[in-house]
Structures are given as C-alpha cells and as structure tokens.
C-alpha cells in the first residue's frame, strides 16, 4: 500500500556550490522539487505569533461553513462527528483497533479545515507532550488554551480565548451508557453555555502519563492489538490499549484516557473536541503511534479475520479510506513530527 513520495534531494547533504549549479541547470526554478511536508511542533515551542494564529484560526473555523456538512461550521462538524463515532460502539473509532487510524484521519481533516480557514496552506496542529516539565502551565495560558474552570461558576473557563462568552459548544453529550460511566465526575453539570474544565478533579482516577509510562510504549515489544480487541485487551500485549488507556475493572485509567479525565469538563465526554486542547492531546497520541510504527512496523495490525475492525476496514464516516491507508504518516497526512 505504500505510496512513498519521492524526495530525492531532501536527504542529500549538498554542498552550496553544487546546489547553486543545480539551481542554475534547472533555470533557477525549483518548482519540480517536492517541498518537504510541514512539521507539527510541540505546543510549548510555538512562538507568540504561532499561538495567536492557531487560536484565531479556531475562531475563524466557527464562522466558516464545513466542507463536509452544509449546516455545520468547520469546527463544530468535528464535535458532531466525534459524538457520532463515540456513540456508535461498532464504529471502531474507540475501544478497538481503529482508534489510532480513525483519529489520524480525523486530525488530517481538521488540519485541512484549519488551512482553509487561515489561508495558510502549511499550518499544522501542535501537540501536547504531557511528559514535558511545565507543559501544563505553558499550554493552559491566557494567550493560548486558557486555564482551569472557575469553581464558583460551574467550572466555566473564564480567561483566555475560549472563555465563556467567546467560545460556543457544538453539542454537549453526556456519556451515560458507556464504559467510562463510573469515571465521569458526578459533580460536574455540563452546561452548553461555555467551555468547562476541572483539572485533576479526582486523584483516584490516576495520574497524568509519566515519562516512564511513555518510554515503556516504545521499550516493551507489543503487538499492535490483541484479542478481544476492545477495552479488555491486555495492555502488556496490546500497544493500542496500552496507549488508549483502559486498564480493566478496578484499575485506574492511563495514558490517553487519563488526560481526557484530568482536564475534566467537556474533555471527559464524547463531545471532547469542544475543548480545543483535544486536538493537542490527540496529535500527541498520533505522534506516539508514529514513533511506535517506526520501531515496530504495522505487520501486527489485526486482519479482517481477527477483528471486524481489521486492516482493510473502511474507517467510520471517512468514505473508502481503510485503516491501512493511514499507516504511513507522511503520504497520508502530509506532515512530519518535529
Ligand atoms: Cu476520540
């Protein structure tokens, strides 16, 4: 399936003279050379201008009709799609092998809409590396993601570009019948009047992912996923469930799941893309999958005989795109990770 884009010159260390000669030979026109894909950067390394462009673009998306749905704006489409995918337990987008491919395409499409809204064809999603010291303070700041919710007003975010009154909720979805049931904050009343957060609302849910846990993802050999390919797949054997973060009855959530829960508010629900930090979080999940793929390849992805969400499954709501067609990050998403 590999559709490797050829970039013959990118990896050659060309001397300046040779480059100049080559450019002269080509008439100075480098139009034939494919440009390297733009890089997704750590959210903590963005310049103030890059932070501002990202924030403004998300607001512009709220004003732009979606290319996928005529009655939704370019941002809210993704909230609705995520609710739909989460609600449908046969979608394969969560608690199944399709978790990583489905979200990879979800991010690609979101990024495409970001580029359309901003007019910047090289714009990329930043990622939140949760293990970076100080990343919480540097991401939840008033010129970027805003901060924690206000405990005196139903945990509405009251500062920053996504504060109450400045940021609309597409849909508030209460996860009442899914497997996270007992981990949803019983004291949080979701209110579509604004974005809500309640950082670290319950210690018993588990701690944010540690450096050691993330290192283990790459250090310990695992298969992509193992039977029964759901929330009960053994995380010592299943990379997908190790990263997604279901740890079985009576166990704390981990990795991907615990970050959703730690932020609280809309982030702990199926309508989690209402909180823009969803995209920073999932871009990091995608980055970790990409690192794992570099080391372990894709040969252990389940077949269609093993799982209904196997390698050739068409991804939920994504046309004819199969899981396999997302495996190579660069040709699929046209980005690299910095
Ligand atoms: Cu999701």
Q: Report the half-sphere exposure of 325 (CA within 13 A, side-chain side).
A: 11
Ligand 1 centroid–CA 188 distance in Å is: 20
Distance from C-alpha of 206 to C-alpha of 247, rounded to nearest angstrom: 11
Ligand 1 centroid–CA 78 distance in Å is: 10
Q: How big, in percent rounded to 5, are the helix, strand and coil portions of the chain?
A: 40, 5, 55
Query: ω into residue 29 within 30 of 0, thus cis?
Result: no
Instruction: Write out pLDDT tens, residues 234-256.
Output: 999 999 999 999 998 888 889 99
Ligand 1 centroid–CA 132 distance in Å is: 23
Ligand 1 centroid–CA 294 distance in Å is: 23
Long-range contacts of 183-189 (CB under 8 A, 24+ apart): 183/253, 183/261, 183/268, 184/268, 184/269, 185/264, 185/268, 188/155, 188/264, 188/265, 188/268, 189/154
Q: How many residues are recorded in the chain?
A: 338
- Go through 257-273 and write b for each residue having 16 or more CB atoms within 10 A of its CB, e for each that does not: bbbbbbbbbbbbbbbbb
How many Cβ atoms sit within 10 Å of the Cβ of residue 50?
Answer: 16
Ligand 1 centroid–CA 326 distance in Å is: 16
SS3 330: helix
Indicate the pairing of strand 336-337 with strand 39-40: parallel
Token pair 């250090």: residue: 219
Residue ranges, CATH 1.10.1280.10, the chain: 40-337
Instruction: Write out pLDDT tens, residues 100-124.
Output: 999 999 999 999 999 999 999 999 9
Distance from C-alpha of 274 to C-alpha of 270, rounded to nearest angstrom: 9
Say what the pLDDT of residue 177 is: 44
How many Cβ atoms sit within 10 Å of the Cβ of residue 7?
Answer: 14
Say what the pLDDT of residue 287 is: 98
Ligand 1 centroid–CA 304 distance in Å is: 22
**With a cut of 70, which residues of the chain have pLDDT below it?**
1-31, 172-184
Token couple for 72 = 């939704």
Distance from C-alpha of 137 to C-alpha of 35, rounded to nearest angstrom: 35
CATH entry, 40-337, from 3.80.10.10, 1.20.200.10, 2.60.120.430, 1.10.1280.10: 1.10.1280.10
Token couple for 337 = 């990770």
Ligand 1 centroid–CA 272 distance in Å is: 8
Ligand 1 centroid–CA 38 distance in Å is: 24
What sign for the dihedral angle of Cα 214, 216, 219, 221?
negative
Phi-psi region of 328 (alpha: psi -120 to 50; beta: other; left: phi over 0): beta
Distance from C-alpha of 84 to C-alpha of 172, rounded to nearest angstrom: 12
Say what the pLDDT of residue 234 is: 97
Residue 235 φ/ψ, nearest 5 degrees: -65, -10
> Closest Cα to residue 139, out of 131, 168, 287, 288?
131
Ligand 1 centroid–CA 91 distance in Å is: 11
């Amino acid at each position: 399936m590999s559709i490797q884009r050829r970039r013959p010159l990118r990896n050659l260390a060309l001397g300046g003279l040779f480059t100049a000669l080559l450019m002269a030979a080509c008439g100075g026109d480098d139009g034939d050379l494919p440009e390297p894909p733009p890089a997704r950067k750590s959210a903590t390394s963005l310049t103030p201008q890059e932070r501002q462009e990202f924030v403004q673009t998300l607001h512009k998306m709220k004003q732009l009709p979606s290319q996928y749905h005529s009655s939704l704006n370019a941002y809210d489409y993704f909230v609705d799609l995520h609710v739909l995918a989460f609600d449908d337990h046969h979608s394969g987008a969560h608690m199944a092998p399709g978790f990583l491919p489905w979200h990879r395409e979800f991010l690609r499409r979101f990024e495409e809409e970001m580029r359309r809204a901003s007019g910047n064809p090289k714009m990329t999603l930043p990622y939140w590396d949760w293990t970076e010291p100080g990343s919480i303070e540097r991401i939840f700041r008033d010129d970027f993601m805003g901060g924690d919710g206000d405990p005196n007003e139903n945990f509405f975010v009251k500062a920053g570009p996504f504060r109450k009154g400045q940021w609309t909720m597409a849909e508030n979805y209460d996860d009442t019948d899914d497997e996270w049931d007992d981990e949803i904050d019983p004291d949080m009343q979701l209110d579509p009047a604004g974005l809500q957060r309640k950082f670290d609302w319950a210690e018993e849910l588990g701690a944010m992912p540690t450096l050691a846990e993330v290192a283990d993802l790459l250090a310990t050999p695992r298969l992509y996923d193992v039977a029964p390919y759901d929330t009960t797949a053994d995380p010592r054997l299943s990379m997908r469930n190790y990263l997604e973060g279901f740890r079985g009855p009576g166990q704390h959530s981990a990795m991907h799941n615990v970050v959703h829960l730690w932020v609280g508010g809309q982030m702990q629900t199926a309508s989690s893309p209402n909180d823009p930090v969803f995209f920073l979080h999932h871009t990091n999940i995608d980055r970790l999958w990409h690192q794992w793929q570099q080391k372990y390849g894709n040969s252990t992805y389940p077949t269609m005989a093993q799982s209904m969400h196997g390698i050739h499954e068409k991804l939920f709501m994504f046309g004819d795109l199969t899981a396999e067609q997302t495996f190579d990050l660069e040709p699929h998403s046209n980005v690299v990770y910095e």
